[in-house]
Amino acid sequence: MMESVGILGGTGPAGRGVAIRLASCGYEVVLGSRDAVRASGVADAMSVRGEGTVRGDTNEVAADCDLVVVATPWDSAVATVSALRDRLAGKVVISMVNALAREAREMVPLYPARGSMAAQIAHALPDSVIVGAFHHLPASLMEDLDSGLDADVVIFSDDPDARSKVNEIVDSMAGLRGVIAGSMSLASPIEAFTAVCISVNIRHKAHSYVTLAGLQH
Ligand SMILES: NC(=O)c1ccc[n+]([C@@H]2O[C@H](COP(=O)([O-])OP(=O)(O)OC[C@H]3O[C@@H](n4cnc5c(N)ncnc54)[C@H](OP(=O)(O)O)[C@@H]3O)[C@@H](O)[C@H]2O)c1
């Protein structure tokens, strides 16, 4: 049976983009929100294709899914997951959170106390397994299944089984290829590189994305 995936803060563009591509390959996705009614409205407005489903509910219900993605703004991620610590215990939790600030025509990386948002989340969730993924993807292209997106998703975790599992899921999503980079030590540069991606897109008025040349899989 296909797993369910809950997305905390799933009503934003980032969460919706991941949701639509997970649903298209059969997952039952719950868009989590602080407001279940708002989340239901957002889910109902999405053009979901394929065997899977997307529905909206509270972040608590999303946290009860088999696999959970954190897609809130960086400055509310720790408070959001901390409140759900017991529900998230024993689960794989994917962080796609980037700590960034806008400065004129650039995005600049911010460095949280533990070096990355994934490490902040891991500290807040000592009983969960944290995997980083989806950081560099433009949400607008993710949401549009006809966008022609053909992107690499750089994955990191200290847990080899969890990162392999997430890699498998990413590979099953249309337009994405998973690339395991390694351990949580890589979280900081991977998250910070998102500032480069967005700054390039602002400067060049584009929706570019990351692909790594020369890989043989
Ligand atoms: N946008 C992208 O292209 C992209 C790509 C890759 C990664 N990311 C990362 O993904 C995350 C989400 O990005 P986004 O652009 O979707 O962000 P967003 O639209 O600003 O926020 C996503 C959702 O988080 C919830 N939220 C907002 N403020 C909150 C608070 N104070 N406490 C709890 N929940 C709150 C909201 O849902 P409710 O009001 O329904 O609760 C909102 O719809 C960010 O960390 C970003 O760095 C974004």
Express each pLDDT in 104-113 by its tens digit: 999 999 999 9
The pLDDT of residue 133 is 98
Residue nearest to atom 18 of ligand 1 (CA): 12
Sheet of strand 176-182, all strands in order from the earlier edge strand to the far edge: 53-58, 28-33, 4-8, 67-70, 92-95, 129-132, 151-157, 176-182
CA atoms within 13 A on the CB side of 184: 19
The pLDDT of residue 216 is 82
pLDDT per residue, tens digit, the chain (217 aa), is: 569 999 999 999 999 999 999 999 999 999 999 999 999 999 999 989 988 999 999 999 999 999 999 999 999 999 999 999 999 999 999 999 999 999 999 999 999 999 999 999 999 999 999 999 999 999 999 999 999 999 999 999 999 999 999 999 999 999 999 999 999 999 999 999 999 999 999 999 999 999 999 998 6
Q: At what angle do helices 187-203 and 117-124 cross, to 10 degrees?
A: 140
Answer whether 187 contacts ligand 1 (Cβ < 6 A): no
Nearest-atom number in ligand 1 for the CA of 98 is 47
CA of 216 to the centre of ligand 1 (A): 34
CA of 56 to the centre of ligand 1 (A): 15
Nearest-atom number in ligand 1 for the CA of 75 is 31
The pLDDT of residue 2 is 62
CA of 20 to the centre of ligand 1 (A): 16
User: Where are the alpha helices (H) located in the chain, listed in sequence order?
Assistant: 13-24, 36-44, 59-63, 74-82, 85-88, 117-124, 139-143, 160-172, 187-203
The pLDDT of residue 159 is 98
Answer whether 33 contacts ligand 1 (Cβ < 6 A): yes
Instruction: Return d(Cα 45, Cα 54) in angstroms, integer.
Output: 10
* Mean pLDDT for the chain overall: 97
